[in-house]
Amino acid sequence: MSAKWVGRAILAALALLFALRIVQLKGKGLLHVATPRGSQAPSVAGPLLDGGRFALAGERGHAVALVFWAPWCGPCRAELPGVERVWRKLAAAPGTSPRARIVAVDTEGDPATAREAQAKLGLTMPIVLDDGSAAAAYQVTMIPQTVIVDAGGKVAALIRGEASEDELMRAIERVEKP
């Protein structure tokens, strides 16, 4: 058998394995499209890195940006300083309520690596440690990914991949409660 035919056989085998993997992932529900705009935002809750708990249900009446990330993700680490700046711009003066909320959802859920990233990146925004349930509820298939929930609890926007500071601010401003 010539090298040409061996190469073709290997490519065909790889294509078959890839197709079988896609079928397997579809069967597990892992290839669904992310939660569609206009749908009710899945209720998520989890521990905050700095103590306490976050519950999306408790944020009703405010727009909320859920920024899904992981400490090992290069694009996430590049995006988060801009997200932090947006969070600071939106943070209200002491004693008042912020216009909108931003929560960084660490998809790894490991406090040690999240705390290390928090320190290196200078993050002060709330970080939720996800046990996998929030990412599953929002069908997050890639990170970074930002889901913006409007004040009424509906998915208003989805940003897949690294968002610029301006892009994130514009998306939040479009759905903020007036």
| pLDDT digits 0-9 by tens, 30-86 | 444 466 777 789 999 999 999 999 999 999 888 999 999 999 999 999 999 999 999
Q: How many domains does the chain have?
A: 2
pLDDT the model gives residue 8? 62
The candidate with the shortest Cα–Cα distance to 158, out of 177, 176, 139, is: 139
55 and 1 part of one domain: no
**pLDDT confidence of residue 123:** 96
Report which secondary-structure segment, H or E, holds 83.
helix 74-90
Query: Looking at residue 26, what is its pLDDT?
Result: 40
For residue 25 the two structure tokens come to 């992932």
The overall average pLDDT reported for the chain is: 83
Residues 23 and 48 in one domain: no
Same domain, 15 and 46: no
**Strands, E, within 56-154: which ranges?**
63-69, 100-106, 127-129, 145-149
Per 3-state DSSP, the chain is made up of helix, strand and coil in percentages (nearest 5) of 40, 20, 40
SS3 at position 58: helix
What is the percent of the chain with per-residue pLDDT over 70, rounded to a whole number?
75
Could you tell me if 43 and 68 lie in one domain? yes
Domain match, 54 and 17 both: no
- Report pLDDT for 175: 86
Q: Domain residues for 15?
A: 1-31
This prediction has a pTM of 0.77
